[in-house]
Amino acid sequence: MSGPETPPANAPRTRAGSSSLKDGGTVVPVREVLWGSSAGVHKYETAEELEPDMAKLVVKLMVVQADTEFASIQQHRPWLDSAPTLEDRWIESRIVADEARHGLQACRILRDFGAAGQQYIDELLAKREGEHKLDAFNMKFETWGDVGAFTCFVDRVGVYQLRAFQECSYGPLARAMPLMLSEEQLHLNFGASVLRRMVQDGPKYYGSKEEAQAAVRKWYPRALDMFGHSNSETSRRAIEYGLKRWTNEEARARYIEEVSALTSKIGLELPPPEFDRHVL
Ligand SMILES: [Fe+2]
Ligand SMILES: [Fe+2]
């Protein structure tokens, strides 16, 4: 069959309107380190090229990353077959599959660090609920509002952390970001949609506006804590090595601005940023 939409047989296979595809290929990734003390040199492509202190930092960042991914699978698990609607159950199962893939992706980077990396992977896989590094990942999803607020607020912090790694100085990490970020977008949108439906439709959907509001007060402080200490030495070194783009405080401030607008649009209130905080 032929028609006006059918491209000639020898035309490059591109998706109309896509800025990420050019002439059938992907955009060439940036080869240079873009910020920090090594700005302008070629990105690091193998674990062997990293100086020991930078290697340690990449490992530390990946252990925390993988730990959050595996922990959230444990948190979502009880809702896989008890989320309120068929669509919600499907999205829950998709989120769990995505988080498992993100954990695998972080562990692949750890594997490049040989026996020490493998040792961390073994420890990560043995961790049970309640044994994780960050508080937000040791709390249970007791209500459906918890699922909504967690994906809306905590996953969104995850996105800020991933964006901070975009085009970073370690090539294998930089290249893992686009797919992870696109998958996380589904989680965020789902979280906001769960809270919105609870506010607008109440028990006709599931739960109530009060339950959604209580969940916001439970998860927002833990989400803000996830950015880490304001004067963190680790974050300063990560910027210097070209691994992260922002300080913890810069990222937290941008996040607060974004979620303040979003939450009031949904019809819910955020507690003040100092409320119930553990990490300052
Ligand atoms: Fe994830
Ligand atoms: Fe996620």
pLDDT value of position 279 = 93
pLDDT value of position 272 = 97
Alpha-helix residue ranges (DSSP H) falling in the chain: 52-76, 86-111, 114-126, 144-149, 155-165, 171-201, 209-225, 233-240, 248-266
Query: Has residue 279 been placed in a domain?
Result: no
Nearest ligand for residue 92 CA: 2
pLDDT value of position 29 = 72
How many angstroms is it from 135 CA to the middle of ligand 1? 16
Q: Measure the CA–CA gap between 53 and 124, rounded to whole angstroms.
A: 22
**Who surrounds ion ligand 1 at CB < 5 A?**
69, 99, 102
Contacts of 163 (CB under 8 A, 6+ apart): 177, 181, 245
pLDDT value of position 18 = 52
Query: Has residue 153 been placed in a domain?
Result: yes
Query: Has residue 46 been placed in a domain?
Result: no
Q: Measure the CA–CA gap between 149 and 195, rounded to whole angstroms.
A: 7
Q: What is the CATH number of the domain that holds 158?
A: 1.20.1260.10
How many angstroms is it from 177 CA to the middle of ligand 2? 13
pLDDT value of position 30 = 84
How many angstroms is it from 66 CA to the middle of ligand 1? 9
Structural domains of the chain, count: 1
pLDDT value of position 42 = 94
Query: Has residue 110 been placed in a domain?
Result: yes
Residues spanned by the domain of 153 = 51-266
Indicate the SS3 state at residue 115.
helix
How many angstroms is it from 246 CA to the middle of ligand 2? 21
Whether the CB-CB separation of 10 and 143 falls below 8 Å is answered with no
Q: Measure the CA–CA gap between 271 and 149, rounded to whole angstroms.
A: 13
How many angstroms is it from 59 CA to the middle of ligand 2? 21
Query: Has residue 19 been placed in a domain?
Result: no
Query: Has residue 235 been placed in a domain?
Result: yes
Query: Has residue 246 been placed in a domain?
Result: yes
Q: Per-10-residue mean pLDDT for the chain, 280 residues long? A: 46 50 63 92 96 97 98 98 97 98 98 97 97 96 98 97 95 94 95 98 96 98 96 94 95 97 98 95
Query: Has residue 73 been placed in a domain?
Result: yes
